[in-house]
A and B are shown apart, each in its own frame.
Chain A
Amino acid sequence: MSSDPDAPSDATSTPDASRSGETLLETRGLVKEFGGLVATDDVSIDVKRGERVSIIGPNGAGKSTLINLITRRLEPTRGDILFKGESIVQMEPHQVVQRGISKSFQTASIFPDLTVMENAQIAALAAEHGEFGFNFLTHRDKLTDVHELAEDTLEAVGLLDRAHNDAEDLPYGDKRRLEIGIALAAEPDLLLMDEPTAGMSPEETQATVDLIEEVKEEMGLTFVLVEHDMEIVFSISDRIVVLNRGGVIAEGTPEEIRGDPAVQEAYLGGVEL
């Protein structure tokens, strides 16, 4: 394990150094039941700082439920979630964001009638001003820290030249980039991405994968990715967690997962029983 426990993930740190960092996120025996249906079944995973972890599994495996438990949109039936060693299961969703967990959403979630810049600013506001105090008279463009953060973020996702367009006028791929930008502007330690390339053309998918790589290199971010596209999963993950029927059936590097019989069974043998 790492000898520098609190290494604040130096942005330029090598992948190897970040791979063995402190544990950032940990779930312990997490269970979510909807009536009689067990959507999350005793899931214990851990994510280290700087790691890129993908969660895969067939439809209905409980991937989105797990993400929603971590972002506190769902209440777990049992179990605990630790972030930076602190339990977050009692927290409100906005408090979890303040602690440093951000999520890029499955469906296009931007504010369509605000400009691209305003979209970035609102996320930056949350990051710079905590839970939002009574600073409401301040002129938006004069809050330099917010403005700079918003601008930096847009530059990082390559949307700065479209800053003053309405978000709804962006092409689909750019909307998804903006979404990632919104998640990044909140300056998270951990970014949860729920199918970031869903519905994209091959070119847009490639551009998004490049963006994720770029952001990972530049910001030293930790990702948890839910993705259907196996090509993407195998190309950008450090580690893969495979879920089936709510439980973890395999966990390991892309190479290990590729050859795992349980994974092939889950994906190919779904009709047995």
Chain B
Amino acid sequence: MSIVSELAVILLNGLQQGAIYVLLAVGLSIILGTLKFVNFAHGALYLVGTYAGLFIALDVTLSSGKLQEWGYGEFGLGWGFLAALILVPLFVFAVGLLMERFLARSFYDRPDTDQILVTFGLAIVVQELFRVLFGSNSLPFTQPEYILSVIPVSGPMQLPIVGSFPRWRLWVIAITAVLVGIVYLLVEHTDFGLVVRAGTRDAEMVRLLGIKISRPYLVVFGIGAALAGVAGVVGGPLNVVNPTVGMNILVPAFLTVVIGGVGTITGAVVGGLIIGLTQATLIGLPSVTIASFTLNFSPWSQVGLYAIAAIILLVRPQGIFGNEEVAP
């Protein structure tokens, strides 16, 4: 492989990894920006999305956990991936509405620390619940081969310059682009979006103008949750599926929001791409041998995220696209 094609592969891997963070960060960021709600349970929504996607798309055989003990080891609907891609966002949207109504809403006026404590607690409860029910071992989430039996989505794909590249990763990038585009249009060009943007700035004044803002808030929360669910479905086949995936993805998702700036979709997209590219670059770079000392970059990929976040925040504390007056 030439250097150019290697770089192109790193770039595409970065876009794909970044796409997952973008899906999570868009929701996290609009919830944080609009509702001023710090949602540490956002990763739990990703977890729910992954498992729901797995069980809708495939037949799964559980090898541990209470369900298996109780005789429900053969689990899953096996309806295929497209069904999962459509049903999971709806399901997680509904989960988000319940979460807003019964948990988040009573914490909007409380300090950030209270919000963090309650959502982090919820995230742990969900994680342990999944561990008890489905076991703590990783479940195989095989990539779908076809969508609608005709569109191939797995296997390698020959691209110019890049050479061979996993087809599914390209789909993840495409699905993310479409969904983020839809959310962008919703926020920028509908009256719902107008109320949300005005509410981000001054919720009290929107209320005084005579608009009951709690309903748009509910929808914002649901949309953010649905995006996290989609991230779980499309990201599932790329990573292991076990009860800790939610917690593991939470930190890069928050870093994405902080880098991009709270409350901006553009920021979430750019932040996600920066994080994804940083990670992919450090993983993809070949090791360098100087004298007898070999430097391997991939173990540094996690550290690299914090380093890049620290550098960006030193220069722009409110994030790249952040508005310092809006930041909570």
Residues on A facing B (Cβ under 8 Å):
71, 73, 93-95, 97-98, 103, 105, 109, 111-114, 118, 121-123, 125-127, 129, 131-141, 143, 146, 182, 186
Contacts and interface: CB of A to CB of B under 8 A. Distances in A.
A123 B194 CA distance: 11
Contact of B191 (A114, A131, A143): A143
Given A103-B208, A143-B191, 12 more contacts: A93-B208, A98-B210, A109-B205, A112-B201, A113-B201, A118-B194, A125-B191, A126-B211, A132-B216, A137-B192, A138-B190, A186-B209
A122 B206 contact: yes
Contacts of B191: 121, 125, 129, 135-136, 138, 140, 143, 146
A121 B194 CA distance: 9
Interface string B306-328: 00000000000000000100000
Contacts of B190: 136-140
A129 B197 CA distance: 18
B192 A94 contact: no
B152 to A, nearest CB: 33
Interface in B202-222: 202, 205-213, 215-216, 219
B198 interface: yes
Contacts of B193: 136, 140
A97 B197 contact: no
B202 to A, nearest CB: 7
Given A114-B194, A134-B215, A139-B190, A97 B209 contact: yes
A126 B210 contact: yes
Q: Which 4 A-B pairs have the closest CB atoms?
A: A136-B192, A97-B210, A126-B210, A131-B212
Interface in B95-125: none
Contacts of B194: 114, 118, 121-122, 125, 140
A114 B198 contact: yes
A135 B216 CA distance: 10
15 contacts: A109-B202, A111-B197, A112-B201, A113-B197, A114-B194, A114-B198, A121-B194, A129-B191, A132-B213, A132-B215, A133-B215, A136-B186, A140-B194, A141-B189, A186-B209
Interface of B: 186, 189-195, 197-198, 201-202, 205-213, 215-216, 219, 323
Contacts of A94: 207-212
Contacts of A121: 191, 194
Contacts, number: 93
A178 to B, nearest CB: 13
Nearest to A130: B210
Nearest to A103: B208
Contacts of A126: 209-211
B201 A123 contact: no
A60 B231 CA distance: 56
Contacts of A127: 210
A121 to B, nearest CB: 6
Contacts of A136: 186, 190-193, 195, 216, 219
Contacts of A122: 194-195, 198, 206, 209, 211
A126 B198 CA distance: 12
A75 to B, nearest CB: 15
A111 B198 contact: yes
Contacts of B198: 111, 114, 118, 122
A132 B211 contact: yes
A143 B209 CA distance: 18
B189 A111 contact: no
Contact of A139 (B189, B197, B205): B189
Contacts of B209: 94, 97, 122-123, 126, 182, 186
A205 B62 CA distance: 75
A121 B207 CA distance: 15
A125 B208 contact: no
A125 B201 contact: no
A134 B193 CA distance: 12
Contacts of A137: 186, 190, 192
Nearest to A135: B191
A80 B66 CA distance: 61
Contacts of B207: 93-94
Contact of B208 (A97, A111, A112, A146): A97
A132 B213 CA distance: 8
Contacts of B201: 111-114
B253 to A, nearest CB: 25
A102 to B, nearest CB: 8
A73 B202 CA distance: 15
B210 A131 contact: yes
A132 to B, nearest CB: 5
A98 B194 CA distance: 19
Q: Which residue of B192, B211, B216 has the most chain A CB atoms within 10 A of its CB atom? A: B211
A124 to B, nearest CB: 10
B192 to A, nearest CB: 3
A219 B109 CA distance: 39
B2 to A, nearest CB: 46
Contacts of B202: 109, 111
A124 B201 CA distance: 18
Q: Which residue of B186, B194, B201, B207 has the most chain A CB atoms within 10 A of its CB atom? A: B194
B90 to A, nearest CB: 16
Contacts of A95: 210
